[in-house]
Amino acid sequence: MAEKAGTSERRDRSVLGSGYQAIARAIGGLFEVAPAGVGRWASVGWYVAIFLAGAVLWAYILNWGEIHFGVGDWAEGTGHRLAFLQNAVRSRQLPLHMPDGSALRNVTDRFMSTPDTILSPQVLLLGVLDLGSFVLANTLLLYAVGFIGMYLLARRLGLSAFAFGVVFVLFSLNGHITDQIVVGHMHWVGYFLLPFFVHLILDAVEGSPTWSWVLKVSLVLFFMFLQGAYHLFVMSLIFLLLCAGSSRRLTGPALVAVSASILLSLGRILPPGLEAGRFDSEFLSGFTSVGQLLTAFVELREPIPEQVFAQSLLSGLGWWEIDQFIGVLGLGFIVGYGLVYPWIKRDAAAVYRILGMPIFTMAFLSIGRIYRVINALGIPLLSSQRVSTRFVVFSLIFLIALAGRNLQAHLARATQARWGKALCLALFGLGFHDLWQHIKLWRVDRMPELFRNLEVDLTGEFVANHPDPAYAAALGIGWGIALLSLAALIWLSLRNPRFLGVGGKADSKVPGTEQ
């Protein structure tokens, strides 16, 4: 009996030991770039869990599609525009003219003459979905596209599943994107296309830009504009211009990419040009100080009037235009791995020689009234930006990506102690918890506590098309040039894959050798 008991005890210990080793290999796989066996399946499970958790949280943020269209920008514009598009889809008419201009800033009844209206292919879903369900479906669709974009970016950066989880959670659930959407800026879902933009910028910085690269940049920005993300489109152009100024090697490709992006989106740019000078473009504000910028990353505020609306003479912005919440741990990650680590490890800093200036400048322009100078110049597109706090999100996203790569480099160099991995997972959980606290506060069903409730009748929004020669000409010329530009870019990509600079010679310089 004693011998059988000893055998059973040894068997139990063996099973427990095997289970413990399997768990250890699974956890270890989360920190490996190319895990195998149990670690590989654990990584797949991690990706799935991260995606599903984010999707559920976005459904929660949007109250599962039960949206009150009588508050904030949902009442002032978004709800009316969606109802109009729904009528256009169901009546099979082009969405050219609204009954009046009340949902278009009281400037015009020309629907496509307002640059932040939604014209993306998924509006066809309005034929079968109610407005709230469409908002949810559209957000989740773009969220899924953003997940794919960030996964591809993570593959390019050589990130493990754990590092991917850190960067994706900070990218997809920060205060900037959640606040913008819950107050009614539905077009801000174009934000989820930014990982593709970051990917292409890194391709240019660390490789040799080609005509194919120009085509891809133009298409990303074109689809961003189709979502109605006009402001993100313009800020992307500004970032490209800053890249052109930061490296002689990128000057030609970046300027061509800006020009090509404008030409490819001309069908969306020319119609608003008919109303030039009628839209309110007076500059509002940026962050009141560097201190407020830093506070925006870590401060939690409830969506109630006394905490959201400015009580200062320095700025009249609501908190949703200031909030960039990522929490203390998120900010520590950005500062530590995005700024300090590459400063210490010089071998990790090569990309910063080119991207450092654009990243810093976007943050610099977000402070105070610095951008007011550019706004006052009356430069088309550039002068349309009134709220410069939004610029810092480009600095944030690029730093998140670069910090992720530096985190992975640190993980590869650090000891493989199990306590270290447990600590990383614990810190990830705490950071996620902080974002959850923000999400509980800023969700769409809490907006009636912030904004005055309005009586909104969406049944009166219908297609009211009428003869409008100037509008028709702008649409025809704009989309005609866009199609010709697309054809030209495809032809150049196929016939001349290497980008030809101003001097007519192919760019063959080694990346990073010239600043």
Nearest 5°: CA angle at 468, between 466 and 470?
Answer: 165
Give a three-class secondary structure readout of 199-247: HHHHHHHHCCCEHHHHHHHHHHHHHHHHCCCHHHHHHHHHHHHHHHHHC
Is the pLDDT at 93 greater than 90? The verdict is yes
* pLDDT 10s digits, 438-485: 999 999 999 999 999 998 999 999 999 999 999 999 999 999 999 999
% of the chain at pLDDT higher than 70 = 92
**Confidence category of residue 508, pLDDT binned at 50, 70, 90:** very low
Start-end of H helices in 313-417: 327-335, 341-344, 352-365, 372-376, 392-413
Judge whether residue 231 has pLDDT over 80.
yes
Instruction: Determine the pLDDT at residue 9.
Output: 55
- Residue 159 CB burial class (10 angstroms; 0-12, 13-18, ≥19): buried
Q: What is the dihedral of CA 326, 297, 402, 216, to 10 degrees?
A: 90
Residues 494 and 214: their CA atoms lie apart, in Å, by 12
Range with lowest mean pLDDT among 7-11, 155-159, 397-401: 7-11
When pLDDT is cut at 50, 70 and 90, the band that residue 194 belongs to is very high
Q: Which pLDDT band, with edges at 50, 70 and 90, does 505 fall under?
A: very low
Burial of 291 (0-12, 13-18, 19+ CB in 10 A): exposed
* Whole-number Å distance between alpha carbons of 296 and 319: 9
Half-sphere exposure of 475 (CA within 13 A, CB side): 15
For residue 503, pLDDT beyond 60: no
Tokens encoding 346: 């010089």
pLDDT at 515: 35
282/62 Cα distance (integer angstroms): 31
- d(CA 460, CA 481) in angstroms, rounded, equals 35
Q: Strand, coil or helix: what is 110?
A: strand
**What digits encode the pLDDT tens for the residues 331-348?**
999 999 999 998 887 766
Q: What integer best gives the mean pLDDT of the chain?
A: 91
| Domain assignments of the chain as residue spans, ordered by start | 44-495
Alpha-carbon span 135 to 187, nearest angstrom: 10
| Mean predicted confidence (pLDDT) in 80-91 | 97
List pLDDT tens digits, range 253-275.
999 999 999 999 999 999 999 99
Residue range 268-295: mean pLDDT, rounded = 93
Q: Rounded mean pLDDT of 427-442? A: 98
